[in-house]
Amino acid sequence: MTSAVMDAHHSEAHHEPAKGIKRWLYATNHKDIGTMYLVLSLVMFLTGGVMALIIRSELFQPGLQFIAPNVFNQMTTMHALVMVFGAVMPAFVGLANWMIPLMIGAPDMALPRMNNWSFWILPFAFLMLVSTFFMPGGAPASGWTMYPPLVLQTGDAFPFLIFSVHLLGISSIMGAINIIVTIVNMRAPDMSLLKMPMFVWTWLITAYLLLAVMPVLAGAVTMLLTDQFFGTSFFLAAGGGDPVMYQHIFWFFGHPEVYILILPAFGVVSEIIPTFARKPLFGHDSMVYAASSIAFLSFIVWAHHMFTVGMPLTGQLFFMFSTMLIAVPTGVKIFNWVATMWRGAMTFETPMLFSLAILFLFTIGGFSGLMLAIVPADIQYHDSYFVVAHFHYVLVPGSVFAIMAAVYYWLPKWTGHMYNEKLGKVHFWLSTVFINVTFFPMHFLGLAGMPRRIPDYSTQFTDFNAIASVGAVGYGLSQLLFVYVVVQCVRGKGEKASSEVWDNPKGLEWTVPSPAPYHTFEVPPKISSSSTFS
Amino acid sequence: MRLPTRPQGEFSMLRKVYLSVLGLLGASRANADWALNMPRGVTRLSAETYDLHMQIFYWCCAIALVVFGVMIYSLIRHRKSVGAKPATFSHSMKAEVIWTTIPIIILLILAVPSARTVIELEDSRKPDMTVVITAYQWRWHYRYTGQDVEFYSSLARTSGDARRLDSGIDPFTVDNYLLDVDNPLVVPVGSKVRLLLTANDVVHSWWVPELAIKKDAIPGFMNETWFKAETVGTYRGQCAELCGMDHGYMPIVVNVVEPQAYAAWLASKQPAATQSAATN
Amino acid sequence: MTKGEQPTMDPSDSKKPEPIDRTLAGRLVLLAIAMFGFGFLLVPIYDVFCEITGLGGKTNDVAFTVEESVEQDRTVQLGFVTTVNGYAPWEFSAEVEEMAIHPGGIYEATFIATNLTDEFKTAQAVPSVAPSQAAKYFKKLECFCFTTQEFMPGETKEMPVRFIVESDLPDYIDTITLSYTFFDTARQTDTVAAAGLNTH
Ligand SMILES: [Cu+2]
């Protein structure tokens, strides 16, 4: 394999990046594509954030102030679609593109042209999705879960919604194939599977999850399409179909999707904590097994999203128990991180701060997840703000914080300059305070009986909603600071970064200069015992 | 999107900010409470649900205390700035076994009472009465089987007027804003009420927190659930499944009344023909 | 992900290490296609699953033949509920609202529907049984729901259903409801569309 890699590289080796727009349009370099993914993700994050702020402004006080109820529903639907498929997933794919070749000592991704495709599909998919706001009937307003029959009431946007979901799926599948092939075939010669860094491991598992469930989502939305336009009745009771079946198929995709959004975050945390604790990751192998069992369990818990649809008793019990079981491997991961910190010599640079916040706040999301597993209690929590609080606690201080931690951690490697540590820390503290101000009160709202996805509410929910809205505005504005810090770093305003960047970090990515040259590891590296922790 | 132009809107927004600040300082207000927790409810199962909720919550607190405690201790003691030297250990079979086993034991402790309550929830035997609930975009329809009583239940007029964009009506002046209906569901206290739920158009969900009932209403399908309210009172809830534009405007009001009052109410709702047939 | 849209590996691409890549990538593409198919396979799987567990309260949709073996000492309350979906123009009701039955016995019930328009109309009745655990014991020998029903303008039809509740119905079920929802077959989807997209 080694010689194959080298041969393959003779023809294109050492050529410099093309100039101007062509460099990006025809990009096949994993670093360029990674950068494009990350930029797109940031744009989508801000877009989805604006929608969130519109939602929170409307909910600041009872009564309708700004938008009509149907526009509100479009906002919640698009916020979710944009954040899940536009912000979080592309960000992790971008990180994978940048870092996986650097971490396993590969010269590039295995399938660079497919890589170009899988990226360039995305901007068009999102343009199409966002353009639905201007169509008769407006943007999709049936929630990102797209439950029939409601989703079939979507106006002209409907086929565009389905088609953009198809495109997003194709992009994800191509990305996943690329990542798997890269990891399996292009590791440096001495890097056995169990020696792989955790970020690579979690991405390998994530890629298999993507490959397994994105096509199922594509199937489900295709059935919606044919139900709407071609007279089938997959989900229409009148023709012998069943709307609940859609929910089963959707969540068969949807629950693994949750882990697609969080496993790479686990990987990031597993990279960062050892570096700043100056101590090897505790229980590397058990982390791999934990991530794999989480992935496996994610296929048999889907109906815990549907405890109120009317399921046989045995079904309810099965899905309750299997869901509770997920707490075990998730706990193992948390405990292993704590053990990694234990008796280390910690310093608290921005990436470490974000990782520590993940440990605390993701765990809170995990606790509410465990509570949601209990069927009788779930009947009360379901579709209330308690659920909104829960999944924002796992997605924002879980996935989004991990993405930001990763950006701060690897930004000096990408740009060759340190970011402004002081501003980074300010960004961290603002984000962490405001995220709690935003989402913690939602637990109370849900328990007190406020349903989710409503544009207006009864007056007893006023105070916590007002607090949440203030927090959301604060969190949103704080992210502008993040943009500023990143832009300044990219523009080379910080001090020069060494190739190691941090205090003796482990991993192959720290053996190449900062900024990482356009082509790296054209000759596979030798792995010395000092460059990995295991 | 545009800013409200009416002076009232601005006034109420300012007032809201002011009151929120007051609230943060610990002041309490009459029409906005600081409910932090799930209601204990008025049925035996709602109380059981509440207890389960609290039990798992306390377990989470206990686990959080231990895990966060260890983390905080480590964050204080094992930092470079206090001269900590990093250890090099990276495995411990013993530790892994311990922190895999303990959660499993806790889960088993939680699973048993949860399963028991689920089984009780499913036990719809021997109902005293049955109400068929049909969900519409965006109102509820109730039909008392065998009683010839049926009616729609929609958002109360007062809320309906105030909820419009630029209505000029301050929601704080409306009683039970968005949680009031024209025709409430009336049931006798202490009776086992079986609910059959279906929908006319899209999926809805019937939720009354005090009854600890939430069940989806699905077009073409008949779902079943039940409750037995132990306390007289008025209990309010909302549609819980996104059902389109006015999803936020289809509240549920259940009046639990003494049996005599229920009989009188029922008689007043029945058409004259049924009434005379019943008395004969 | 439709099959045609799957990316193909460009043979002229010189950047990749051959040929290990290609077999693995090919297999992964096949896996994705297979999973797309699996999404559709879930439809029949779901139906079988419903049949076994009674999930969704679904009952048999073709006539069933069975021997009668009445359990005289056990009585189950059977209620009938009728719904017309999407404000379709029918009046639809059961002749009796409730009957007491013995498991194992064959019974007949009649439903009455009137076409409220002066047009020719067809309807599909969709049955559902609550509690759903009872569905698999509820067997229809003859039902107006097996086929679509045609209505002349203003026509009123009496429609029978013959059924048996099998005697192995679990003890914990003492009340069953058979519900029929009438759907106008001419407008499966646009009923809801019309109801849903109005504006203020
Ligand atoms: Cu509704």
Q: Do C129 and C144 sit in the same domain of this protein?
A: yes
Q: Is C102 exposed, middle or buried (0-12, 13-18, 19+ CB in 10 A)?
A: middle
C-alpha B213/C-alpha A320 separation (Å) is 18
- What's residue C187's pLDDT? 60
* pLDDT value of position B16: 55
Confidence of residue B238 (pLDDT cuts 50, 70, 90): very high
Question: Containing domain of residue C26, as a range?
Answer: 19-53
pLDDT bin (cut points 50, 70, 90) of residue C191 is: very low
Domain presence at residue C198: no
- Residues of chain B with Cβ-Cβ distance to A348 below 8 Å are 79
Average the pLDDT over each of A140-154, B13-27, B235-249, C24-38 and give the range with the smallest value: B13-27
Which residue out of B5, B68, B93, B241 would a mutagenesis test of the A interface target, given it has the greatest number of A Cβ atoms within 10 Å?
B241
What is the distance in angstroms between the Cα of C133 and the nearest Cα belonging to chain A? 6
pLDDT single digits (tens) A505-517 = 888 889 888 888 8
Q: Does pLDDT of B189 surpass 60? A: yes
CA of B242 to the centre of ligand 1 (A): 6
Q: How far is Cα A327 from Cα A362, in angstroms, rounded to an integer? A: 12
Backbone phi, psi, residue C113, to 5°: -130, 140
C11 — contact with chain A (CB < 8 Å)? no
* HSE (side-chain half, CA atoms, 13 Å) at A130: 17
Q: What is the pLDDT of residue A8?
A: 41
Query: Mean pLDDT throughout A176-188?
Result: 91
Q: Annotate chain B with DSSP letters as a single string.
A: -----SHHHHHHHHHHHHHHHHHHTT---SS-----S----SSHHHHHHHHHHHHHHHHHHHHHHHHHHHHHHHHHHSBGGGTPPP------HHHHHHHHHHHHHHHHHHHHHHHHHHHHHT---S-SEEEEEEEETTEEEEEETTTTEEEEE-B-HHHHHHTSTT----GGGSTTTTS-BSS-EEEETT--EEEEEEESSS-EEEEEGGGTEEEEE-BT--EEEEE---S-EEEEEEE-S--STTGGG-EEEEEEE-HHHHHHHHHHHS-HHHHHHHH-
pLDDT bucket at B1, cuts 50 / 70 / 90: very low
**Confidence at residue B90, expressed as pLDDT on a 0 to 100 scale:** 78
> Band of the pLDDT at C18, cuts 50, 70, 90?
very low
In the prediction, which pLDDT does A441 show? 93
Instruction: Give the Å distance between the CA of B205 and the centre of ligand 1.
Output: 6
Please, which pLDDT band fits residue A126 given cuts at 50, 70 and 90? very high
pLDDT value of position C4: 37
Average pLDDT over residues A292-298: 91
Catalytic residues of A: 79, 108, 144, 171-172, 255, 257, 259, 270, 304-305, 330, 333, 452
Residues C26 and C85 in one domain: no
Could you give the count of Cα atoms lying within 13 Å of A298 in the half-sphere of its Cβ?
Answer: 27
Q: Read off the amino acid at residue A467.
A: I
Residue in this structure with the two tokens 């069940």, named with its chain if needed: B215
Closest to B67 (Cβ–Cβ): which among A310, A334, A456? A334
Which is nearest to A306 in space by CA: A423, A145, A156? Answer: A145
B168 to chain A, any CB pair closer than 8 A? The answer is: no
Are C67 and C144 found together in one domain? Answer: yes
State how far the Cα of C146 lies from the Cα of C167, in Å rounded to an integer: 23
User: What is chain A's mean pLDDT, rounded?
Assistant: 89
Q: Do B12 and A61 touch (CB under 8 A)?
A: yes
User: Would the CB atoms of C181 and B137 count as touching at under 8 Å?
Assistant: no
CB of B173 closer than 8 Å to CB of B213:
no
Residue A451 has pLDDT above 70, yes or no: yes
Count structural domains, chain A.
1
- Between CA C128 and CA C179 the distance in angstroms is 5
How many residues would you count in chain C?
200
The full DSSP string for A335-404 is HHHHHHHTT--B---HHHHHHHHHHHHHHHHHHHHHHHHSHHHHHHHTTBHHHHHHHHHHIIIIIIHHHH
How many angstroms separate the CA atoms of A362 and A334, rounded? 9
In a domain, A21, yes or no: no
A189 touches chain C (CB under 8 A): no
Above pLDDT 90, what percent of chain A? 68
Give the chain C residue whose CA is nearest to the CA of B219: C85
Whether residues C63 and C33 share a domain: the answer is no
Q: Looking at residues A13-42, what average pLDDT do you find?
A: 83
Reading the block at residue A91, the tokens are: 């960000």
Q: Angle A421-448/A350-373 helices, nearest 10 degrees?
A: 10
pLDDT (0 to 100) of residue A251: 93
**Longest pairwise C-alpha distance within chain B:** 93
Lowest mean pLDDT of A59-73, A336-350, A482-496, C142-156, name the range.
C142-156
Q: What is the mean pLDDT of residues B149-169?
A: 89
Same domain, C99 and C186: yes
Q: What is the model's pLDDT at position A130?
A: 92
Same structural domain for residues C39 and C110? no
A98 touches A104 (CB < 8 A): no
CA distance A81 to chain B (A): 16
pLDDT of residue C3: 37
The residues, ordered by sequence, that sit 6+ positions from A127 with a Cβ below 8 Å of its Cβ are: none
* Tens-place pLDDT, residues C21-35: 578 888 888 998 988
Average pLDDT, chain C: 76
Contacts of B201 in chain C (CB under 8 A): 85-86, 191-192, 195-196
pTM for this model (two decimals): 0.89
Query: What's residue B94's pLDDT?
Result: 85
Which helix (H) or strand (E) is C107 found in, with range? strand C106-115
Helices (H), chain C: 20-53, 190-196
What single letter denotes the amino acid at residue B241?
Answer: E
The residue extents of the domains of chain B are 44-77+95-121, 127-271
For B140, residues 6+ apart whose C-beta sits below 8 A from its C-beta are B133, B134, B152, B153, B154, B181, B185, B206, B250, B252
Q: Quick check: is A201 in a domain?
A: yes
Is the same domain home to C104 and C119? yes
Number of domains in chain C: 2
Per-residue pLDDT at A373:
92
Token code pair at residue A198: 């955790």
- What contacts A309, CB < 8 A, 6 or more positions away? A244, A247, B216, B218, B223
Contacts of A453 in chain B (CB under 8 A): 242, 247-248
Q: What is the CATH number of the domain that holds A197?
A: 1.20.210.10
DSSP string, A167-227: HHHHHHHHHHHHHHHHHHH-S-TT--GGGS-HHHHHHHHHHHHHHHHHHHHHHHHHHHHHH
| C33 and C110 fall within a common domain | no
Question: Residue B165: which pLDDT band, with cuts at 50, 70 and 90?
Answer: confident
pLDDT of residue A472: 94
Distance B137 CA to ligand 1 centre (A): 6
Strands C175-184 and C76-84: parallel
CB B212 within 8 A of CB A376: yes
Closest partner residue to B222 among C86, C98, C130, by Cβ?
Answer: C130
Q: Does residue C57 surpass a pLDDT of 60?
A: yes
Point out the residue among C79, C132, C200 whose CB comes nearest to the CB of B130: C79
Check whether residue C115 and residue C172 sit in a common domain: yes
Residue A476 DSSP SS3:
helix
Mean pLDDT, chain B, integer = 84
Give the residue-averaged pLDDT of B97-110. 89
Please report, in angstroms and rounded to a whole number, the separation of the first and last CA atoms in chain A: 23
pLDDT band at A15 (very low <50, low <70, confident <90, very high): low
What is the ipTM for the molecules in this complex? 0.87
Give residue-wise pLDDT tens across range C120-177.
888 888 888 888 888 888 888 878 888 888 888 888 888 888 888 888 888 888 888 8
Residue A401 domain boundaries? 3-8+27-226+237-511
- Residue A49, H or E segment: helix A30-58
Residue C200 touches chain A, beta carbons under 8 Å: yes
A274 pLDDT more than 70:
yes
Are both C43 and C61 inside the same structural domain?
no
Residue corresponding to tokens 């990226």: A119
Q: Compute the nearest-CA separation of B272 from chain A (Å).
A: 37
C109 lies in some domain: yes
Closest by Cβ to C13, choosing from A113, A213, A228:
A113
A335 Cβ contact partners less than 8 Å away, ≥ 6 residues apart: B67, B95, B99
Lateral strand order in the sheet of B251-257: B185-188, B251-257, B233-239, B204-208, B213-217
Name which of C121, C185, C187 is nearest C155 in CA terms.
Answer: C121
Q: What is the enclosing helix (H) or strand (E) of A485?
A: helix A462-490
What average pLDDT does the segment B78-91 reach?
A: 82
pLDDT tens-place string over residues A144-155: 999 988 999 888
pLDDT per residue as tens digits for the range C2-14: 333 334 444 444 4
Q: For residue A124, tell me if it sits in a domain.
A: yes
Average the pLDDT over each of A93-97, A451-455, B214-218, C112-116 and give the range with the smallest value. C112-116
CATH top-level class of B127-271: mainly beta
Chain-chain contact of B178 with A455 (C-beta, under 8 angstroms)? no
B-contacting chains (≥3 CB pairs under 8 Å): A, C
Out of A315-329, C62-76, C130-144, give the one with best mean pLDDT.
Answer: A315-329
C31 and chain A: CB distance < 8 Å anywhere?
yes
Interface mutation target, options C3, C6, C18, C21, chain A, most CBs of A under 10 Å: C21
Q: Give B159-212 as a DSSP string.
A: HHHHTSTT----GGGSTTTTS-BSS-EEEETT--EEEEEEESSS-EEEEEGGGT
Candidate from A497-501, B7-11, B157-161 with smallest mean pLDDT: B7-11
Distance CA C159, CA A334 (A): 62
pLDDT given for residue A529 in this prediction: 52
For range C61-73, the mean pLDDT? 70
Instruction: State the distance from the centre of ligand 1 to the C-alpha of A132, rounded, in angstroms.
Output: 24
Whether residue B194 and residue C175 make contact (CB cut-off 8 A), yes or no, is yes
| B12: Cβ contacts below 8 Å, ≥ 6 apart | A61, A63, B170, B172
* Contacts of A among chains (3+ CB pairs under 8 A): B, C
Q: How many CB atoms lie within 10 A of CB A288?
A: 18
What is the sign, positive or negative, of the torsion defined by CA atoms of A215, A220, A226, A232? positive
- Model pLDDT, residue A218: 93
Q: By CA distance, what is C195's nearest residue in A?
A: A153
Confidence (pLDDT) at B7: 38
Indicate which CATH number applies to the domain containing C150.
Answer: 2.60.370.10
Which is it for strands C76-84 and C98-101: parallel, antiparallel or unpaired? antiparallel
Secondary structure letter of residue A299 according to DSSP: T
| Cis amide prior to A455 (ω within 30 degrees) | no
Whether C83 and C154 map to the same domain: the answer is yes
Q: Which of C27, C53, C79 is the last residue of a domain?
A: C53
Q: Between chains, do C81 and B222 touch, taking CB under 8 Å as contact?
A: yes
